[in-house]
A and B are shown apart, each in its own frame.
Chain A
């Protein structure tokens, strides 16, 4: 084998895979055509709507390594049962059933899909809905709830069961993020996102900029909007779909 044959072989073997695994798929995925909601002539085009400080929040999410323990992917049913786990893939209530798999548009507004490495913690694809539900039980806003959770994920004050009983969360191995919080002298009614209680010196614990954008991003995680019928593989019954 000469160096020339070697180089040609290297170029061919690696180049072929590089073209078909990287270059062409990336180019194709970069120009997804718009999809109509259904087969009707005048159907609207699907548009994924997001709100919140997604780009900034995703950066905090990435740099603090949330993705090492939390996934953001509801896999199809041939890859497991996560879609049926309560509150993970969508919301089931008297208004209907929004559970569905992750779609290709769900990461709109982000630069990198944080699919995640491990599920040490639960999937966050629909964390926004869960945070709102937990907060409603305590009578606080969802941002407040997320801030309190970031400050101490093992707090027993944050989760209430069906009868309003406290749910033990001390088993959680989620890291707390005290560096995202500041201690401030309360002024007037105080900060609306300040944590409950005061420090020994009478200061309020107030989420800083990082906690605020992260909370905004986490609250935006509601990946259960109605998909075009051609893309919707959700397990809900056809008569239930709207």
Chain B
């Protein structure tokens, strides 16, 4: 990347801090309310998971019974946290890469509030028993047009900041962001029209729902996470991306393969065979663009293990990229038609979603947030320990969930279901230890994210450290270390502005 922090001029520094200031409130609003929704979703996830092994947990309160807390958990994760973290990264990254300050923080903030209101109504609606019963679309049906309208107000400014960009070079991250910006409304509108509005064959509605879930993962969360990962690695290692041509090839491979994926979730249903098999094949083939991007990003960081260890942004991003590679490999295993008899109706689908949403996407977003927030608030992160806790509890938590849900639990549960001469009780019992493990792993992730939310809130209140030294995850306490001489030597002031 040509604009490295080392050789940037005063003018560049000024422009960057102007962009950061112009977006401070919308970006912080999206991140902080996203983190709050993440905590809500994790609490609901723990409740749902606990109910699978101890149905008497929380008594007989109908609000939190499994059939409501589970959809509420997933939808809060997708729309409350996932989408909002993505919006924050999209608007900030697009503005930074296009080198233009935003002039519409107000619109973004209003849209953000509407989005949050709609998500709140949706989640409460599900808990009160008004869910629509279509996975990832469980919000009561009046919610989706509101979400789409709020999205349009956000996305239009991403497009505009791309249109008014300065300079000729277009970074790969911009293409990915632009892709995500355009894919989301198309996917979301298609799915909601076909499932909720048009009168379609009930089986096709279910198939479109399966396509929608996979498309959200591959064509919205994945491109945003890849865009952020490319940016963070290039910035922190102060290197150009390992191979620009590969990165563009990876983008187009994703664009061509991913829209076909997803209908394998209804495999075995009486819909045309090519839909099920194309869905499975595309989900497996999508490993190619994911590995393209993953290898390219890891190659960019190679030889910089110390940076990945010390920089919170790079550490989370690299963990997220490993999550992406795991997602690619698990996609091949789980979507394979030979595995469907075991995995289609087991915990595997949930494990895959958790890996995509938390192990891959969220880890990349945490990396971006640890990078962006000090810049827009002009304060440094308060505590290395909080960051470290967030990292390790997240990594181990998501690793255990993926292990329990997609591999051990799924195949054991699937095999027990397949053993048709044994009573059904056996299939239920075989998941018990993994269900308990999943609950505990979610508790670890919740522990990590409650502190993350508090940390983020303190940063928004501008209670971060006033220092020119970023918070790095080093252990030494020398004068050169992250807690070195404190002072109000802000980047801008030192540049003499």
Choose from A59, A66, A101, A111 the contact partner of B205 (Cβ within 8 Å): A111
Query: Which of B99-107, B178-186, B328-336, B463-471 lies at the interface with chain A?
Result: B178-186
- Bound CA span A112–B267, Å: 16
Known: A26-B201, A177-B65. A71 touches B195 (CB 8 A): no
Contacts of A86 in B (CB 8 A): 420
Q: In the bound complex, do residue B179 and residue A113 qualify as a contact, i.e. CB atoms below 8 Å apart?
A: no
- Bound CA span A98–B374, Å: 67
Q: In the bound complex, do residue B200 and residue A26 qualify as a contact, i.e. CB atoms below 8 Å apart?
A: yes
Choose from A9, A25, A32, A63 the contact partner of B275 (Cβ within 8 Å): A25
Q: Which residue of chain B has the shortest Cβ distance to A178 in the bound complex?
A: B60
Q: Categorize the interface residue count of chain B.
A: 35 or more
Contacts of B418 in A (CB 8 A): 80-82
- Bound CA span A176–B56, Å: 9
Q: In the bound complex, do residue A112 and residue B51 qualify as a contact, i.e. CB atoms below 8 Å apart?
A: no
Q: In the bound complex, do residue A112 and residue B206 qualify as a contact, i.e. CB atoms below 8 Å apart?
A: yes
- Bound CA span A3–B164, Å: 12
Interface string of B250-288 (1 = CB under 8 A from A): 001001100110010111111110010011000000000
Q: In the bound complex, do residue A64 and residue B68 qualify as a contact, i.e. CB atoms below 8 Å apart?
A: yes
Contacts of B200 in A (CB 8 A): 26, 29-30
Interface string of A51-69 (1 = CB under 8 A from B): 0000000010111111111
Q: Which residue of chain B has the shortest Cβ distance to A27 in the bound complex?
A: B200
Choose from B65, B170, B417 the contact partner of A64 (Cβ within 8 Å): B65
Interface string of B185-196 (1 = CB under 8 A from A): 010001000110
Cβ of B382 under 8 Å from chain A? no
CB distance from B68 to the nearest CB of A (A): 6
Cβ of B377 under 8 Å from chain A? no
Known: A25-B204, A118-B346. A63 touches B129 (CB 8 A): yes
Q: In the bound complex, do residue A79 and residue B65 qualify as a contact, i.e. CB atoms below 8 Å apart?
A: no
Q: In the bound complex, do residue B67 and residue A116 qualify as a contact, i.e. CB atoms below 8 Å apart?
A: no
- Number of residues on chain A facing chain B (CB within 8 A): 69
CB distance from B184 to the nearest CB of A (A): 12
Known: A14-B255, A26-B204, A79-B340. A120 touches B52 (CB 8 A): yes
CB distance from A8 to the nearest CB of B (A): 12
Query: Which of B108-116, B150-158, B311-319, B425-433 lies at the interface with chain A?
Result: B425-433
Contacts of A102 in B (CB 8 A): 269-270
Q: In the bound complex, do residue B345 and residue A29 qualify as a contact, i.e. CB atoms below 8 Å apart?
A: no
Cβ of A195 under 8 Å from chain B? no
Q: Which residue of chain B has the shortest Cβ distance to A7 in the bound complex?
A: B182
Q: In the bound complex, do residue A13 and residue B252 qualify as a contact, i.e. CB atoms below 8 Å apart?
A: yes
- Bound CA span A114–B201, Å: 12
Q: In the bound complex, do residue A112 and residue B424 qualify as a contact, i.e. CB atoms below 8 Å apart?
A: no
- Bound CA span A170–B419, Å: 22
Choose from B53, B194, B256, B428 the contact partner of A26 (Cβ within 8 Å): B194
Q: Which residue of chain A has the shortest Cβ distance to B254 in the bound complex?
A: A13
| Chain B binding surface, main DSSP class | helix
Cβ of A85 under 8 Å from chain B? yes
Cβ of A137 under 8 Å from chain B? no
Choose from A6, A26, A103 the contact partner of B178 (Cβ within 8 Å): A6
Q: In the bound complex, do residue B270 and residue A104 qualify as a contact, i.e. CB atoms below 8 Å apart?
A: yes
Q: In the bound complex, do residue A69 and residue B66 qualify as a contact, i.e. CB atoms below 8 Å apart?
A: yes
Chain B positions 329-356 with a Cβ under 8 Å from a chain A Cβ: 337, 340-342, 344-347, 349-350
Cβ of B2 under 8 Å from chain A? no
Q: In the bound complex, do residue B205 and residue A112 qualify as a contact, i.e. CB atoms below 8 Å apart?
A: yes
Q: In the bound complex, do residue B268 and residue A75 qualify as a contact, i.e. CB atoms below 8 Å apart?
A: yes
Q: In the bound complex, do residue A68 and residue B66 qualify as a contact, i.e. CB atoms below 8 Å apart?
A: yes
- Bound CA span A59–B255, Å: 36
Cβ of B303 under 8 Å from chain A? no
- Bound CA span A25–B210, Å: 14
Known: A62-B133, A114-B133. A68 touches B345 (CB 8 A): no
Chain B positions 43-81 with a Cβ under 8 Å from a chain A Cβ: 51-53, 55, 60, 62, 65-68, 70-71
Chain B positions 202-237 with a Cβ under 8 Å from a chain A Cβ: 202-209, 211, 219
Point out which of B67, B179, B183, B260 has the most chain A C-beta atoms below 10 A from its C-beta: B67
CB distance from A79 to the nearest CB of B (A): 4
Query: Which of A16-24, A33-41, A140-148, A184-192 lies at the interface with chain B?
Result: A16-24
CB distance from A170 to the nearest CB of B (A): 10
Cβ of A237 under 8 Å from chain B? no
CB distance from B377 to the nearest CB of A (A): 33
Cβ of A91 under 8 Å from chain B? no
CB distance from A106 to the nearest CB of B (A): 8
Known: A26-B194, A30-B200. A64 touches B129 (CB 8 A): yes
Q: In the bound complex, do residue B65 and residue A25 qualify as a contact, i.e. CB atoms below 8 Å apart?
A: no
Cβ of A1 under 8 Å from chain B? yes
Choose from B67, B425, B429 the contact partner of A175 (Cβ within 8 Å): B67
Chain A positions 74-113 with a Cβ under 8 Å from a chain B Cβ: 75-76, 79-82, 84-86, 101-104, 106-107, 110-113
Q: In the bound complex, do residue B269 and residue A73 qualify as a contact, i.e. CB atoms below 8 Å apart?
A: yes
CB distance from B171 to the nearest CB of A (A): 12
Q: In the bound complex, do residue A113 and residue B428 qualify as a contact, i.e. CB atoms below 8 Å apart?
A: no
Cβ of B135 under 8 Å from chain A? yes
Q: In the bound complex, do residue A14 and residue B186 qualify as a contact, i.e. CB atoms below 8 Å apart?
A: yes
Contacts of A9 in B (CB 8 A): 252, 255
Cβ of B248 under 8 Å from chain A? yes
Q: In the bound complex, do residue A113 and residue B182 qualify as a contact, i.e. CB atoms below 8 Å apart?
A: no
Known: A17-B260, A25-B275, A64-B65. A173 touches B133 (CB 8 A): no
CB distance from B162 to the nearest CB of A (A): 8
Contacts of A17 in B (CB 8 A): 259-260
* Chain B residues proximal to chain A, CB less than 8 Å: 51-53, 55, 60, 62, 65-68, 70-71, 129-135, 162, 170, 175, 178-179, 182-183, 186, 190, 194-195, 198-209, 211, 219, 248, 252, 255-256, 259-260, 263, 265-272, 275, 278-279, 337, 340-342, 344-347, 349-350, 413, 417-420, 424-425, 427-429, 431
Given A13-B259, A172-B428, 5 other A-B residues pairs in contact with their CB atoms under 8 A: A10-B179, A17-B260, A71-B345, A80-B418, A116-B345
**Shortest 7 CB-CB distances between A and B: which pairs?**
A65-B67, A62-B133, A75-B268, A17-B259, A179-B62, A80-B341, A175-B65
Q: List 12 A-B contacts (CB under 8 A).
A: A17-B259, A30-B204, A64-B129, A73-B266, A75-B341, A79-B344, A82-B417, A112-B206, A113-B203, A172-B428, A173-B428, A175-B66
